[in-house]
Amino acid sequence: MRLPEVSRTIEVPDDVTLNVIGKTISVKGTKGNLTRDFSYASVAIDGEGKNVRISAKWPRKKETALVGTIYSHINNMIVGVTKGYSYKLKIVFSHFPISVKIQGKSVFIENFTGEHKARSVKIIGDVKVKIEPEDIIIEGISLEDVSQTAANIEQSTKVRRKDPRVFLDGIYVYERNEGMA
């Protein structure tokens, strides 16, 4: 049975400016600006003062899920422009000392399991990457960019063709935070 209407409302904080143009959402806050296009979604997005309403009339499961998904994306954008996001990764090695370097928009992982060639990972979006002796700190205002960069770094050091119980070397995410350091 279909419900007559599914909707969720977001209250926009005072220090955030949110513009709705069609299905494009622009969020401006103290940390920066984020824009996202939801034109693929078969839901209605209405901006009314300090409230944004996402709704679907006579939704199927797909539209009901999209209402919740878009609601979460907009909330993540608001948190991003007010507090920001940071991920911390730990550099772990027991056999070969791993060294990590940043060059431009890439992170290079050298000497992973004794390899002579460095592994390269692209930094996605407008994300800042800092390297400390045993940690890598990734900060930014877009949750998708920060988390995808962290995931790409972690996946690039996945141990293959060796026993993962013995070879624990790698770079692992150990902390996720709202709010940059």
Rounded-to-integer distance, Cα 101 and Cα 11, Å: 42
Average pLDDT, the chain: 93
Q: What percent of the chain has pLDDT over 90?
A: 83
* pLDDT computed for residue 2 by the predictor: 67
CATH class of 5-82: alpha beta
The answer on pLDDT for 1 being more than 70 is no
* pLDDT computed for residue 4 by the predictor: 85
Handedness of CA 162, 173, 145, 111 (dihedral sign): negative
Q: 5-82 and 85-178: same fold?
A: yes
* pLDDT computed for residue 36 by the predictor: 96
CATH architecture of the domain covering 85-178: Alpha-Beta Complex (3.90)
Segment 36-43 mean pLDDT: 94
Domain boundaries, the chain: 5-82, 85-178
Q: Is 45 exposed, middle or buried (0-12, 13-18, 19+ CB in 10 A)?
A: buried
Contacts of range 76-80, beta carbons closer than 8 Å, 24 or more positions apart: 76/143, 76/144, 77/25, 77/27, 77/34, 77/36, 77/142, 78/10, 78/12, 78/13, 78/16, 78/18, 78/27, 78/29, 79/143, 79/178, 80/27, 80/29, 80/31, 80/34, 80/140, 80/141, 80/142, 80/143
SS3 at position 21: strand
Segment 67-77 mean pLDDT: 96
Characterize the bridge pairing of strands 128-131 and 51-57: unpaired
Segment 100-104 mean pLDDT: 96
Please state the pTM of the whole predicted model.
0.91
pLDDT band at 49 (very low <50, low <70, confident <90, very high): confident
The answer on pLDDT for 41 being more than 80 is yes
Model pLDDT for residues 128-169, shown as the tens digit of each residue:
999 999 999 999 999 999 999 999 999 999 988 888 888 899
* pLDDT computed for residue 85 by the predictor: 97
